[in-house]
Structure 1
């Protein structure tokens, strides 16, 4: 009986300590949580004519948002607009522009007027070992994934900041990144460089726009079974395909739901599966704290998550070594 009382007392003390810690975190975390409304607001989505961008557009439209899509191809934009209107009855505007073209992006955002939720979901991905790439491919990836995101935010932000003085509801800038923006992987050198850059952009941007009640979200998606991914997977380096077997795939709709829910709850890191959540714990670093519970997980589980990652990386490097040894035994030249 005395032992049972001691166990209950210990459990009670542990629960009390956790609750007190949560209370302290709720006071000290910044910028803290926010509820970003979607219904009745203007959601502007780049890369919105297909893939993840289109799936996000459908989710937002179904929740009552007024949607604008930006992409390069006019015909595909028109088809996507008609599809969203048919499925949801929502108002959809389309803008044909290349995200690398600053003037084109500027004109599109000027014509679209004030944006409440900006979703930067354009991206390009050509997996290849660095030694086999030419610099034009590298520049193309950085221009679309990084410079294009700068163009979008730079020309959407002034109107968003100005509107914040007339409306107390938070606005949002969501940047669709990748788990490859937290963790490097074989064959992804240029892609990882672009996605790691987006994290730095997002963290610094949140500090710049918080005074205007604008929240920044970084969507850390896993490999997604988009048409482009499925079409190009046979061209991936063999080692990339082998290592990616350990990463569960998700569908476009799963990413879209996670993205919209993350925007609405004002999250900074928006993971799309458990693996993404675990990575966000291991790499939380200097990211903005938006939830006491998430901050508690960061503090309590970061070390555990890092330990799991160490074992994962051990497996990857063992796989790489075995593959290289097998190539040598076959007498092939490893490029």
Structure 2
């Protein structure tokens, strides 16, 4: 790990000022991903700006939405009575991610910004366009069991690791950010990027901006929601495939649906066409299997991850079945 400077700030304005006055600086809160990357020399910021004292830890409801501060801890959000009542899908996704120790340190903003766990990205002796643009993608012809089946490019087939983000994209969340030009709002579906020609860019957050909060609009998905994660071991493992499923059911019929997948793309993967196919259909396995088939259209496998094609379809069906059975 290289030497670095450290500065603690107490207001968003001071954080942005420190960032603008520093070359190659990064904000740090829980540090559960950034510190690991620094230890492995994958990232080498010259300055860390500690933002833990910023007043961004709130979880509150007002004006038809729940607002979660960027520095709220994952465990606080998952255990919040408000979240459990209004958005249990988010609580389930958070509890499915990482270990209890990590959840006790990780923040909402940091969770959104965590980087891929692709082993070609982490190993600095291997080629990786995300870590070193132009060096190539080792995963394309390498061991790609964990990699993308949607939205990949010839430059990168890595997947986004966050469980929380899969639930937030399904719940139509909005990201609030602050920069030198003031505040702006980014739909969660547009926050993360597909790799395209620039896989080194994970999000559409500008280099001089700070995430301040996430907003989730009120909805009718608090009764029938389920987050289903398939992984190699029961804890502290990233998803092979995960699905966030939420249904608004009335009289056995689906009025509205929300679906998103994790472990399959460079960003949380929203399944809008599958959602549309479920509207007005009975909440039964036939409807779910039809939606799953639609969801998997366009998926492309690589040498070692072809199993994800069938697995993805089955996980969608099981997530929907479990969500529908909840009361």
Task: Decide which structure has greater helix share.
Answer: 1
Report the TM-score when normalising by structure 2.
0.30
- Higher RCO (C-alpha 8 Å, min separation 6): 1
Report the TM-score when normalising by structure 1.
0.30
Larger radius of gyration: 1
Task: Decide which structure has greater strand share.
Answer: 2
